[in-house]
């Protein structure tokens, strides 16, 4: 199993703790940023990590921000991404067994690294159960398809394409 991992500035320290855990279990991963403590925008990291998962080079993703919420909202905008923001292991495990979540979102300001590691471990060890759950996951896909905008290419704005970490973030910005 290969993991794509990413965080914004608020999730940076927790991401490092989880990378140490993945190292200890010899689970391969790639860190898609951010790589510094400077303020950056979580939607961009979420999009980069989710694109990596959709490329099929990675099996699952882990996204960390302050609450896990912004990352999960952003990730769930992307077709075929099922992201679960979890603050305890039970939901994380069930999100894989029943919802076939392919992204785990964690809030570094919500869970300390010990609990975050247990959540991650439970999620990584869990397996999708399929059967009746597949019908429901298929329904999720069909909702996605019903609301998909017919191909309407949108030029990225500058803030969508400049480097992940701005050279000089505005003073005091979180």
Is 86 noted as a catalytic residue in this protein? no
Q: What is the DSSP string of the chain?
A: --EEEEE-GGGHHHHHHHHHHHHHTT--EEE-S--SSS---HHHHHHHHHHHHHTTS-SEEEEEESSSHHHHHHHTTSTT--EEE-SSHHHHHHHHHTT---EEEEETTTS-HHHHHHHHHHHHH-----THHHHHHHHHHHHHHHTPPSS---PPPHHHHS-SS-SSPPTT--
Q: Which is nearer to ligand RB5, 70 or 122 (CB)?
A: 70
Identify the CA nearest to 124 among candidates 76, 92, 99: 92
Does 98 participate in catalysis according to the annotation? yes
Closest to ligand RB5 by CB, 40 vs 124, is 40
Least distance to ligand RB5, CB of residue 69, Å: 5
**Nearest-approach distance from CB 115 to ligand RB5, in angstroms:** 17
Taking the complex as a whole, the smallest distance from the CB of residue 110 to ligand RB5 amounts, in Å, to 9
Nearer to ligand RB5, 68 or 89 (CB): 68
- Measured from the CB atom, is 92 or 93 closer to ligand RB5? 92
Residue of 9, 40, 50, 65 with catalytic role? 65
Smallest separation, CB 14 to ligand RB5 (Å): 11
Residues that bind ligand RB5 (CB under 6 A): 8, 10, 42, 65-67, 69-70, 174
Active-site residue set? 65, 98
């Amino acid at each position: 199993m290969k993991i794509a991992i990413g965080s914004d500035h608020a999730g940076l320290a927790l991401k490092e703790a989880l990378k140490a855990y993945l190292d200890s279990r010899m689970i391969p991963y790639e860190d898609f940023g951010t790589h510094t403590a400077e303020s950056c925008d979580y939607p961009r990291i979420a999009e980069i990590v989710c694109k990596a998962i959709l490329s099929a080079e990675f099996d699952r993703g882990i996204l960390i921000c302050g609450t896990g919420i912004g990352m999960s909202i952003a990730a769930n905008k992307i077709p075929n991404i099922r992201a679960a923001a979890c603050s305890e292991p039970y939901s994380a495990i069930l999100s894989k067994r029943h919802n076939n979540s392919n992204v785990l979102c964690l809030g570094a300001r919500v869970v300390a690294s010990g609990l975050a590691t247990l959540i991650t471990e439970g999620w990584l060890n869990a397996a999708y159960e399929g059967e009746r759950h597949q019908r429901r996951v298929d329904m999720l896909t069909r909702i996605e398809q019903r609301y998909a905008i017919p191909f309407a290419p949108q030029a990225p704005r500058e803030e969508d394409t400049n480097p992940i970490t701005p050279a000089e973030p505005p003073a005091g910005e979180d």
